[in-house]
Structure 1
Amino acid sequence: MKNPTLLKEMLDYRGRDEMPDDFDTFWNKQVAVVEVPQDYQLLEKDFQIAYAICYELTFKSGNGGQIYAKLVVPKLSEKVPVLFHFHGYMGQGWDVVSMDVRGQSGYSLDGNREVRGNTVKGHIIRGALDGPDQLFFKDVYLDVYTLVELVAGLDFVDENRLSSFGGSQGGALALVAAALNSRIKQTVAIYPFLADFRRVLEIGNTSEAYDELFRYFKFHDPFHETEEQLLQTLAYIDVKNLAHRISCPVQMIIGLEDDVCYPITQFAIYNSLAGEKEYHLLPEYGHEAMNVRVSDTVFNWLCGTKIKRLSLVSDFNSEK
């Protein structure tokens, strides 16, 4: 539903907190020490499709993590463009290149602990009292950077035609991919997660995605004595703070009924983007699957397809 007052605020909103002074220095140092693994495994799988090859990719990443991704590649003699697809919070995916986020029920392992299955509750706040270098999502963001670097170097990949795409957590990671790696040439983010944490706390606990923030204070710090420390650390994984690093074109899709990743927090990301950008509002949509008209539009943007979006005015009106 369109709220004119809130829409007016969102159009200029950049978030409740400023970016840390050393934010770019922090991330530049993190990226600089990443070593792209040479001992990765790329295994062809029996995919039973005549025009495509499916691979499973595994590689070692930061803090002892082992990352798993799927690649689906057309059988062509020339190098091919790549779309990096990232799944939402607590899930796993399958696309051209699709990475399982460590600790979220997929095949990626979460560091030296090597916990199999789901460790998702607490991922946002893990390490938040120990400094930005200890944040769980810091490691995930570097997993994304490493994945892009590794795939870009594969023989069958056109490293100049890389794109990123996802929704919710996946939308955040699609933006992170572009923010940390200039190889990404275009990005589509649908209702991105992980932004403007102070505003999230002010709005209240309306969904499971951010529930761990509220549980932390309710059961560990009910007087909010560590709130400033926590938020200052989380600022280093706040996607709105990474947005200014993105140089490629970005399309964002925002559902105005979203009570998981609130529209105003998504606009904090959008308004911090410095390059070519465009947003698209869906007034009746919340944090949910979007229909085929949205999917067709997204893949027209990313893949250069020309799937026609029929006009409900002209294409379905005929002269009587």
Structure 2
Amino acid sequence: MAHFDLPLDQLRSYRPDVAEPDDFDDFWGGTLEESRSLASPPVLARVDTKLRTVEAYDMTFSGFGGEPVKAWLLLPAGTSGPLPAIVEYNGYGGGRGLPHERLTWASCGYAHLFMDTRGQGSAGSAGGATADPHGSGPSVPGSMTKGILDPHDYYYRRVFTDAVLAIDAIKALDRVDPARVTVTGGSQGGGIALAAAGLVPDLVGAMPDVPFLAHFQRAVAMTDADPYNEVARYLAVHRGDDAAVFTTLSYFDVVNFSKRATAPALFSVGLMDIICPPSTVFAAANHHAVGAEVVEYAFNGHEGGQGVHWLRQSAWLADRIG
């Protein structure tokens, strides 16, 4: 895939106006208040993985509406804390998988919480374990158009709430330092991390890797690739719903969460990425309220920097956490 988006010098300064509803803060404040009022303490069960350097726990915490959400909690063996923590969110369609697939952060001395994404977890080999007990009106296969005509019903209202309450849950653990929590994730997980960074005021940092869910109106019109194309396919059938759809999506556009972030961010972008076009990533990064560094991978698509980028993340985070 050749470079297809704006020239790099324009990407680096690309800061578009993105639709933001007047009641954005009230909407999210009310959503989180309601779900927090229904939350119960997280439940942990030790898992025998045969790993010697990492302890693994099957964790269940209260998410949206008090509903149970699964996660893996991985801790460096033999530590008592308080440890710095990383909360990680998953890519589109994936599940939490198995504990031994997620060893790097715990091996570096962090408490690592990997959140299952409700209603997903059947794409690829990483299976999920969290249901989404909410129905929706007509939708295109996938998650992007579930409940898309009303922000209160929209799928990502539940996911973003789960993401925030995952942070609440890990902060409540004795072996975690609540003042040293970072969020990260790739693709969908990167978008969720940005949403969490805009909703939780005291994070150390955010590391969105090739983030999804940014600048919806540009992305939906620009790429034929899924998942954004799910929205285009929906509108191709439900003609005339454009205004309602993009009004709903404005409550979930992570550009609007970046504007509210209080922690610095390390972004990555693949300049040949047709799934999350580079301009949509830069839109979020250039609106990030407290400064963002963008690592560019000129000849990569949605895979971004992979293991090379993890080295950048680990060094960046070590500088901030110590």
**TM bucket by the smaller chain?**
0.7 to 0.9
For the residues of structure 2 that align with 1:3 and 1:121, how far apart are their CA atoms? 27
Match of 2:268 in 1: 253
Match of 1:98 in 2: 114
For the residues of structure 2 that align with 1:4 and 1:56, how far apart are their CA atoms? 42
AA of the residue aligned to 2:133: G
Q: Is the 8 A contact 1:104 1:120 kept in 2?
A: no
For the residues of structure 1 that align with 2:140 and 2:296, how far apart are their CA atoms? 29
RMSD of aligned Cα (Å): 2.3
Match of 1:156 in 2: 175
**Residues 238 and 185 of structure 1, relative CA distance in 2, 3 Å threshold:** same
User: Which of these residues, 143, 146, 149, is aligned with residue 123 of structure 1?
Assistant: 143
1:108 aligned onto 2:134:
no
1:265 aligned onto 2:280:
yes
**Residues 13 and 19 of structure 1, relative CA distance in 2, 3 Å threshold:** farther
SS of 2:7's partner is helix
1:77 aligned onto 2:108:
no
Q: In terms of Rg, which structure is larger?
A: 1
**Residues 40 and 3 of structure 1, relative CA distance in 2, 3 Å threshold:** closer
Match of 1:86 in 2: 89
Match of 1:190 in 2: 209
Match of 1:175 in 2: 194
Q: Is the 8 A contact 1:253 1:282 kept in 2?
A: yes
AA of the residue aligned to 2:27: F
For the residues of structure 2 that align with 1:2 and 1:211, how far apart are their CA atoms? 20
SS of 2:193's partner is helix
Q: Is the 8 A contact 1:62 1:111 kept in 2?
A: no
For the residues of structure 1 that align with 2:22 and 2:166, how far apart are their CA atoms? 28
User: Which of these residues, 297, 304, 311, is aligned with residue 312 of structure 2?
Assistant: 297
User: Which of these residues, 112, 132, 151, is aligned with residue 132 of structure 1?
Assistant: 151
**Residues 289 and 264 of structure 1, relative CA distance in 2, 3 Å threshold:** closer
Q: Which moved more, 1:141-150 or 1:35-44?
A: 35-44
Q: Is the 8 A contact 1:163 1:184 kept in 2?
A: yes
Relative to the length of structure 1, the TM-score reads 0.85
CA deviation profile, 1:98-148 (whole Å, cap 9, x unmatched): 0110011210110256xxxxx99342222221x211111011000011110
For the residues of structure 1 that align with 2:249 and 2:130, how far apart are their CA atoms? 23
User: Which of these residues, 49, 58, 61, is aligned with residue 59 of structure 1?
Assistant: 61
User: Which of these residues, 46, 49, 58, is aligned with residue 47 of structure 1?
Assistant: 49
SS of 1:49's partner is coil
**Residues 120 and 77 of structure 1, relative CA distance in 2, 3 Å threshold:** farther
Q: Is the 8 A contact 1:15 1:268 kept in 2?
A: yes
Q: Is the 8 A contact 1:57 1:71 kept in 2?
A: yes
SS of 2:79's partner is coil
For the residues of structure 2 that align with 1:120 and 1:214, how far apart are their CA atoms? 10
1:216 aligned onto 2:206:
no
SS of 1:111's partner is coil
AA of the residue aligned to 1:104: Q
**Residues 46 and 233 of structure 1, relative CA distance in 2, 3 Å threshold:** same
Q: Which moved more, 1:46-55 or 1:262-271?
A: 46-55
Q: Is the 8 A contact 2:197 2:257 kept in 1?
A: no
Q: Is the 8 A contact 2:202 2:262 kept in 1?
A: no
SS of 1:302's partner is helix
Deviation at 1:199, TM superposition (A): 0.7
1:144 aligned onto 2:163:
yes
AA of the residue aligned to 2:292: K
AA of the residue aligned to 2:70: Y
Q: Is the 8 A contact 1:15 1:240 kept in 2?
A: no
1:284 aligned onto 2:285:
no
Relative to the length of structure 2, the TM-score reads 0.85
Q: Is the 8 A contact 2:258 2:285 kept in 1?
A: yes
CA deviation profile, 1:140-190 (whole Å, cap 9, x unmatched): 000011110011011111111111111100111111221111232111111
